[in-house]
Amino acid sequence: MGFIANIKEEIRLIRERDPAIHSNMEVLLYPSFKVMLYYRTAHRMYLKGHYFLARWISQRAARKTGIEIHPGAQIGRGFFIDHGNGVVIGETAVIGDNVTLYQGVTLGGTGKEQGKRHPTVGNNVMISTGAKVLGSFKIGDNSKIGAGSVVLDEVPPGSTVVGVPGRVIKRDKKVLPQEELDQVNLPDPVREDIAMLQHANAELTNRLLDLEREVKRLREENRQNGGE
């Protein structure tokens, strides 16, 4: 895709996914738009072996936008960063098509790996505000990562992951439409666990009360039989 085509695609994408944008001119001020222009140039330099120049371009983009994308990262089409301050994408990260990241997301390494040390993100994935995905594993297609989650293991396709450390709390074989960018209405495993414990406690309490009533009845019967 050529330079002009890239710009048109970025404008269309940002206007499609951010209702706060009211004109094409506003898109020119958008951090995601700026950083992707820098990234594409830096990535071309990186592929040609001009590593210092590539890093210089990417670091300049980070200073201007608050978004740090290593020029070695591989990013597919339809990539969107919403309010991207604090987003970090590592050198060996691979990102598929139609992926959305929110502010504060990190696609990083654990510091223990060599070679491929950053995540691979599948197609149609949403990673919510403040989530950290650390390590060289894959986030499966059509998955959602909840806000503030810390993901350290592979995520199967069609999964919803929340928590620290992140765990899969929902599997859905249906393809999630990328327009369904819902960061809020995700299952809450802690609340669900508490509800289960409360239910189990209520059942145990009722059984204990039943046993106490039965013991009281038997004692009353024994007392009456002994008195006859």
Average pLDDT of the chain, as a whole number: 85
Give the number of other CB atoms < 10 A from CB of residue 168.
Answer: 19
The pLDDT of 132-144, averaged and rounded, is 93
Sequence-separated (6 or more) residues with CB below 8 Å from residue 155: 137, 138, 139, 140, 143, 145, 161, 166, 168
For the entire predicted model, the pTM comes to 0.72
pLDDT 10s digits, 69-125: 999 999 998 898 988 889 999 999 999 999 999 999 999 988 777 789 999 999 999
**Residue 180: closest CA among 148, 144, 150:** 144
Sequence-separated (6 or more) residues with CB below 8 Å from residue 153: 135, 137, 165, 166
Phi then psi for 116, rounded to 5 degrees? -70, 110
For residues 174 and 62, the model is more confident at: 62
Do residues 61 and 172 both lie within one domain?
A: yes
Do residues 178 and 104 both lie within one domain?
A: yes
Do residues 42 and 126 both lie within one domain?
A: yes
For residues 2 and 25, the model is more confident at: 25
Q: Is the pLDDT of residue 64 over 60?
A: yes
pLDDT of residue 178: 45
Do residues 133 and 74 both lie within one domain?
A: yes
Burial of 173 by CB count in 10 Å (0-12 exposed, 13-18 middle, 19+ buried)? exposed
Do residues 9 and 42 both lie within one domain?
A: yes
Do residues 182 and 204 both lie within one domain?
A: no
Do residues 22 and 131 both lie within one domain?
A: yes
Do residues 21 and 127 both lie within one domain?
A: yes
Do residues 152 and 164 both lie within one domain?
A: yes
Number of domains in the chain: 2
CATH code where residue 83 lies = 2.160.10.10
Q: Which two tokens stand for residue 72?
A: 């070695």
- DSSP-assigned letter for residue 176: P
pLDDT 10s digits, 109-123: 887 777 899 999 999
Task: Check residue 78 and give left, alpha or beta (phi > 0: left; psi -120 to 50: alpha).
Answer: left
**Residue 105: closest CA among 82, 127, 134, 122:** 127
pLDDT of residue 1: 60
Q: Is the pLDDT of residue 184 over 60?
A: no
Do residues 81 and 192 both lie within one domain?
A: no
Burial of 88 by CB count in 10 Å (0-12 exposed, 13-18 middle, 19+ buried)? middle
Do residues 31 and 59 both lie within one domain?
A: yes
Q: Domain limits at 212?
A: 188-228
Tell me the C-alpha to C-alpha distance, in Å, between residue 143 and each of 5, 148, 175.
Answer: 29, 15, 9
Do residues 173 and 70 both lie within one domain?
A: yes
pLDDT band at 16 (very low <50, low <70, confident <90, very high): confident
